[in-house]
Structures are given as C-alpha cells and as structure tokens.
Amino acid sequence: MTVTFLIAPDFSPERFAGWHMLNTALQRRSGFHLHLVTPATAHEQSEFLAAGQADLVYANPFDAVDMIRTQGYVPFARPAQHYDEMVIATGIESGVGVVEDLRPGCRIAMTENRDVKLIGLRLLEPADLTESQIDWVPVDSYQAAARKAIKGEVEAAFFLADAYSSLTKLTRSHLRVLVESAIHDISHVLLAHPRMSGQLAPIEKAFLGIGQMPGDVELLDALGLVHGFEAMSQEQAEFMIDLMDTLMD
C-alpha cells in the first residue's frame, strides 16, 4: 500500500535531506510505501490537500486546527520538546532597537506562514500595531525576508525561530532580534486522514520509535528534531486549538 506523506513547506532547505531520511526509515519500519510530498509554497500545499491526496500530514499548528475541525484529520504525534516559536528581527543598521520603535505604516516581511503571523501580531502589541496598520511585504522564504531586512527594504521581518537560527552566522550578524516568543504549547502536528484509521498503528509505532535504533541520532539531527516524536492525543490537540483560538481573539 502506498501512503502519501505531505510535509508543510516551512522547514529550512538544509532539512530537506532529513525528511527523506525519515521517510526511508518509516517505510522500512512500518512496512508501508510512503510517497513523500514537499510542496514549495502554502498555496501548493492547499491545492494538494483540497484534492484529498494526503494520507499523512506534518502540519503547522494553524493549518492543523482547520484540518482537525473541518476535515476530520486525526492527530497522533508531534515533535517532542520542540515548539513553534517565532522571531521578529530587523536589520542591524535599521535604527529600530525595540518593538516599540515600529510605527503605523512600517513594512514587515513575512512568508505565508499564518501561525507565525498570528504569534507575531501578539508580540507587536507593545507597539500598539494592528494588522491593518502594517505594510506587509510577502516573500517566498525566510532567507528572502532576511535579505530585505538587511537591505533596509523593510523595517522588520517575521521568522519561525528554527528558520532564524538556521540562517548563516554571517546573515544573522547583520540582523538584530527584537523579540522572540516563548509560548511552549504550540507545535507542528502529525495528522492522519480519516481513511487511515484502520491502518495507522504500524505508522504511529514507526514514528514514535524514531530515536531508538542505530543511526537515528544522525537522522533526528538532520531533521532538527533531536528528541524525536511523542504521541499526541485528541485532548492535547484540542488544548492547542483552544490556545490558537485565544491568540486569534
């Protein structure tokens, strides 16, 4: 049986090999043939999901809320001790020293990650900025966001914290972190399509066992998920959904 495994398009390019290593390990341990799908953009992901082709999805928390609530996807695991935090940074020569220096009409670069935007708007509250007061500058990657901030084309940029830390040391030397979130309860989620309900057990076991065999340390290091995966119950998913609702209010 072939199982389609879709990965949210918000991981850093250097993690690409890690996802393929994970896919190979999961196939070997579950007995299923996994077809790895890595959309380049959130729009491409949405089209794939709308076509109903994804059996397993590694989803960002914002997308996970909708997939669980409206499409019936079942949460079964998440990265262990690995949360979705975000960073607001500016170019080192921008003159912006703190969040409060950002004014209505400021330009902020960001990718299509809605969860990053949601958290970022909360972090901007000390500046009394609302979404409509910001000139949003869309970019295709976090690297592009960094370039715009460094060149002074925007006053700030939003980053997934993992993506920011994976920028080169040289790039980060030209950026200043204004604020970083520390929520600790929001993470990406592994979801299964309802049609997988009778066949999920071997795959879930394979995911939760990553980290227990020779070579797994290198695999997890390549993924940037050094603690592997842990089980996630429906109740735990609902708690995260409630927290997301609070952030959106």
pLDDT for res 74: 96
Q: How far is CA 82 from CA 138, 186, 199, 214, 225, in A?
A: 26, 9, 27, 22, 7
| CA-angle at 168, arms to 211 and 137, nearest 5° | 105
Report yes or no: 19 and 11 within 8 Å, Cβ to Cβ.
yes
In this structure, what are the phi and psi dihedrals at residue 17, rounded to the nearest 5 degrees? Answer: -60, -35
Three-state secondary structure along the chain?
CEEEEEECCCCCHHHHHHHHHHHHHHHHHHCCEEEEECCCCHHHHHHHHHCCCCCEEEECHHHHHHHHHHHCCEEEEEECCCCCCEEEEEECCCCCCCHHHCCCCCEEEECCCHHHHHHHHHHCHHHCCCHHHCEEEECCCHHHHHHHHHHCCCCEEEEEHHHHHHCCHHHHHCEEEEEECCCCCCCCEEEECHHHCCCHHHHHHHHHHCCCCCCHHHHHHHHCCCCCEEECCHHHHHHHHHHHHHHHC
Pairing of strands 156-160, 2-7: unpaired
pLDDT for res 41: 85
pLDDT for res 151: 97
pLDDT tens-place values along the chain, 249 residues long: 789 999 998 888 888 999 999 999 999 999 999 999 999 888 899 999 989 889 999 999 989 999 999 999 999 999 999 999 999 999 999 999 999 999 999 999 999 888 899 899 999 999 999 999 999 999 988 999 999 999 999 999 999 998 899 899 999 999 999 999 998 889 999 999 999 988 999 999 999 999 999 889 999 999 999 999 999 999 999 999 998 888 776
Which neighbouring-strand residues pair with 88?
Answer: 158, 179
Q: How far apart are CA 166 and CA 13, in angstroms?
A: 9
> Does the CA dihedral 117-121-124-127 come out positive or negative?
positive
Largest CA distance in the chain: 57
pLDDT for res 150: 98
Tokens standing for residue 150: 């460094």
pLDDT for res 184: 87
pLDDT for res 85: 93
pLDDT for res 31: 94
pLDDT tens digits along 3-17:
999 999 888 888 899
pLDDT for res 35: 96
pLDDT for res 75: 97
pLDDT for res 14: 83
Domains and their CATH numbers in the chain: 2-83+185-248 (3.40.190.10), 86-180 (3.40.190.10)
pLDDT for res 158: 97
